[in-house]
Homo-oligomer: A and B are copies of this chain.
């Protein structure tokens, strides 16, 4: 995923060369610069669908444009110590507003509002990230500004990070992204004769981030890291591969290690070169070795037709020309959307959604038939950690919220990414005092599964019900990988969270005898790199309220004697229920013999059973995976949530997220260190948060070339009502059919004229009334 590094550069570059880069941006979006020098007009408001309105305001919806303008005006006009320059005029040596978003209200502050006991919504606050560029050390600071709208009581406060007791600057290890690209490229140019000889090419000269010559070289950067006060980074030479932007498939086997400490490139140094298993301690040493007789040259890795996804040949499968089956929605949608309040209602489910640049879409106040299920459900962080024998693959890991899993949300293609009849929704990002509307980044649609939700045959009737479900989908394109996150709602009250990965793999330059340890050879000089995807989500379940217990129910083998076994001890099995008492991590157990159920021990259904929601692996491939190994320097303390499958903690307003997008450059002392959340608190009948991981161990093979397929890359968890209702809730909403058999017999069913669009349960389609 080394394109990510370019993206990272690009993200940092945004901070510096806003004028240049954003111009191109705005060509494409309905963006408006809305602070100095000019104030923008508002976007046209999007009409609420069919007059459907949320019962109350969405408290978690990102700041509106007018709120952002209001905050920026406040920051620029009210005396403060931030020493801000308007972003449009700022250089990296200034302080400026890099990002602005809603500071979501503390959960405890919203309870009376969302439960209708007060009509006064809690005050809204903004969370502002400041690029601090006026001192030698470059960092980000975050502040809260509120209450909004700005009045005389509005104030600015530093953000307090959980379990940290002083103001923390968030270190920026790439304080000058352009220099951080330019200087390594100049290093590469100095060895142009060597790369021409070894790799048959030289570094791309253009200032463009993606060089136009696909046969030229680019540098791909591992995340910089801090060691003894030095900022260090390894760079890999890749062929640009711009025909398909296939750079991650084109490593060349040449690497250089740089010291980029301080803001002054004059202080920067080349530390090492690495080629064909040899480490060289300077450019001179590398050059001397190259010139020496017997220096072994490896073949380069070339771009070509193999990196393009499309195959326009149709000779192999003539049926390809014929339309595949396609889903239609003959009578329009059955859900209701309040676009203004970002509120959806479908078949008993209601929920709000909110967008954030770091994390994408989060759901709030999820209810089923007006009963509380979840306060919050959303992505926290997406991690990928690699293994390999070179300095790039061997120690690279990505924390993608840095790039922004919401910011990276891309326009979805109707009829392909989502059904053509889907409802498409936009998102707006605020970036360095500008706004940008991203079109069709969310889709919402109903779909009918290829299998029924239930079927049952007796000797005199058959019933079958359709499994129609609702999907809310986004796709974040982070460098070489596209992550699709689905929130799926089922008629019985179940909610599934599913992540699929597609895209170009990031692989290694193939070294016989070495690459086999970490993957498979998948092209001439190209090997796959095994990696773990671990994607963390927060599920703040409120099953009928905030007093919940996580019950572990084990399916256990045991031996028991019964009165009817006349004293004989019989091998059998039973359920062992263990309420989890203390905050902890948990794993999916061997042979799936444990159930995890969040329930309210004080709420029972008609049969006296505690009402709950079960958490289980869903319809992804097998059980989701956690990290294979712990302790990489690359991750440091930034992702301790990745070490087990799920975690349960007590809800705290200040433990809002498991990660911070600024953890990536602060892995030794991350802004959010999840391990601190596990501090031994009792969690029986408390407000619980489940932090769960999706993901898989991805060992790519030739079938991943050129692009990873999604049917085998899905990972999922499902939250399913467990004794929550008195009986199956889908009975009241599913569309089904009951067919009577002509006579009492289970062996045949008379043919029936079945309306393909039918929902005959109400109409009593009985093939033949059985007289009894």
Residues of B within 8 A of A616 (CB): 621-622, 712
Question: Within the assembled complex, what's the spacing in Å between the Cα atoms of A623 and B645?
Answer: 15
Chain B nearest Cβ from A405, distance in angstroms: 14
Could you name 9 residue pairs across A and B whose Cβ atoms are closer than 8 Å?
Answer: A27-B743, A321-B759, A323-B757, A324-B466, A494-B711, A530-B573, A571-B632, A605-B702, A706-B728
A179 within 8 A of B: no
B630:A743 contact, CB within 8 angstroms: no
Residues 554 to 570 of chain A near chain B (Cβ within 8 Å)? 555-558, 562-566, 570
Residues of B within 8 A of A394 (CB): 562, 564-565, 570, 572
Residues of B within 8 A of A69 (CB): none
Contact of A587 among B348, B451, B591 (CB under 8 A): B591
A369, closest chain B residue (CB): B316
A634, closest chain B residue (CB): B570
B731:A310 contact, CB within 8 angstroms: yes
A722:B701 contact, CB within 8 angstroms: yes
Contacts beyond the supplied A309-B736, A450-B471, A555-B699: 8 A-B pairs with Cβ under 8 Å? A212-B772, A279-B563, A322-B334, A413-B737, A413-B749, A587-B591, A591-B628, A701-B722
Question: Within the assembled complex, what's the spacing in Å between the Cα atoms of A758 and B324?
Answer: 9
A182 within 8 A of B: no
A712:B494 contact, CB within 8 angstroms: yes
B622:A617 contact, CB within 8 angstroms: yes
- Looking at A440, A456, A623, A630, the one whose CB has the most chain B CB atoms below 10 A away is A456
Residues 592 to 625 of chain A near chain B (Cβ within 8 Å)? 592-593, 595, 605, 607-609, 616-623, 625
A306, closest chain B residue (CB): B727
A390 within 8 A of B: yes
A: interface residue count bin: 35 or more
Q: How many protomers of this protein does the assembly include?
A: 2
A439 within 8 A of B: yes
A120 within 8 A of B: no
Contact of A622 among B257, B622, B725 (CB under 8 A): B622
Residues 460 to 518 of chain A near chain B (Cβ within 8 Å)? 460, 462-469, 471, 473, 475, 477, 482, 484, 486, 490, 492, 494, 500, 502-504, 516-518
A313 within 8 A of B: yes
With A319-B347, A622-B623, A759-B320 as known contacts, state yes or no: A703 contacts B729, CB within 8 Å. Answer: yes
A733, closest chain B residue (CB): B317
A738 within 8 A of B: yes
Question: Within the assembled complex, what's the spacing in Å between the Cα atoms of A173 and B449?
Answer: 43
Chain B nearest Cβ from A433, distance in angstroms: 18
A702:B723 contact, CB within 8 angstroms: yes
Stretch at the interface among A270-278, A287-295, A354-362, A661-669: A270-278
Residues of B within 8 A of A210 (CB): 459, 744
Residues of B within 8 A of A414 (CB): 754
